[in-house]
Amino acid sequence: MDAGEIVRLMNEEERATLHAVESAEGAIAQTAERAAAAFRRGGRVVYVGAGTSGRIATMDAAEMPPTFGVEPGSFVVVIAGGSDAGVKAVEDAEDDPGTSVEALNALGLNRDDVLIGLAASGTTPFVVAAVRHARQKGVWTCGIANNARTPLLEEADLGVFLDTGPEVLTGSTRLKAGTAQKLVLNRISTAAMVLNGKVVENLMVDVKAKNDKLRTRCARIVGDLTGASVAEARETLEENGWSIRAALERLNRPTY
C-alpha cells in the first residue's frame, strides 16, 4: 500500500470506533453518574490501566484541574509501572497483580471513590486485580474492555464493552481500541463535571487562568455570559483574582 491507501484504510476502520462508543451509551452514562456522585461526596475517580490504556487515563486525569478547576487529587491514575509508564513503555509491569493492589491501598481507596479499570484485552492482571480488590472494599467499579466476556467486564460492577473489532495492525491497541477508550473517558469525565455544575450553558466557568491564552478565554466566557466588553470583562476578572464565577456575580450574572 502507498501512504494514501494506508490512511484511507485506517479512516474506514475508525468508523467502527464511534459505533462501538454509541452502542455503549447507556453504560457510559451510568458510569458518568457514578463519577459525578463520587465527586459530590468528596470522593475520587480512580483510573487503573496499563500501557496505552494507562497513558490514555493519565491524559484525561491531567486535564481535569485546568479545565474544570478541580483539585489534582480528584481524578487519580494508577498505571502499571508507576508514573514513568506515562511517558515510556514498561510492558512487563502489567503482569503483576499485586502492585495495583498495593497502589490502591497506598491511596487509601474507600467507598466514597469509584474505580474505572481499562484494558483492551480485558485480561490484564494489573487491572483485573485492581477491580476485584476495589469491589471487595465496597468501592463501585467499572471495567472498560474491547473484548467481550472477559474477566475485567465480569469482575466489575458495570462492564463497558467497546466492540471495535480487529486492529489494522494486529494487536496494536493504541489504534481503534485506544481511540475508543479516550472517547469514553472524555464522555465520563465531562458529563460528571457538567452534572456537578462546572459548566454554565456550554462554557467552563471554573477554568484556571494560568496563562495568557486562558486569561483571554476567561474574558471571552465572561463576555459571552454577561454581554460585557472584553475590556470590562478583563478588568472585572483582574479585580476578582481571575475567578469567572466572582466576575459573573459582580456583573449580575450569578451561577449556581
DSSP string, 205-232: TT----SHHHHHHHHHHHHHHH---HHH
Measured distance between the N- and C-terminal CA atoms of the chain, rounded to whole angstroms: 56
Cβ atoms of 125 and 50 within 8 Å: the answer is: no
Instruction: Give dist(CA 63, CA 24) in Å, integer.
Output: 23
Cβ neighbors of 229 (< 8 A, separation 6 or more) are 223
Cβ atoms of 127 and 50 within 8 Å: the answer is: yes
> How many other C-beta atoms can be found within 10 angstroms of the C-beta atom of residue 115?
30
What are the catalytic residues?
63, 94
Pull the grid cell for residue 159: 462492564
Cβ atoms of 101 and 134 within 8 Å: the answer is: no
Cβ atoms of 115 and 130 within 8 Å: the answer is: yes
Instruction: Give dist(CA 41, CA 150) in Å, integer.
Output: 31
Give the ranges where 108-211 is alpha helix by DSSP (H).
125-136, 151-155, 176-195
Pull the grid cell for residue 56: 490514555
Pull the grid cell for residue 141: 467499579
Cβ neighbors of 10 (< 8 A, separation 6 or more) are 168, 175
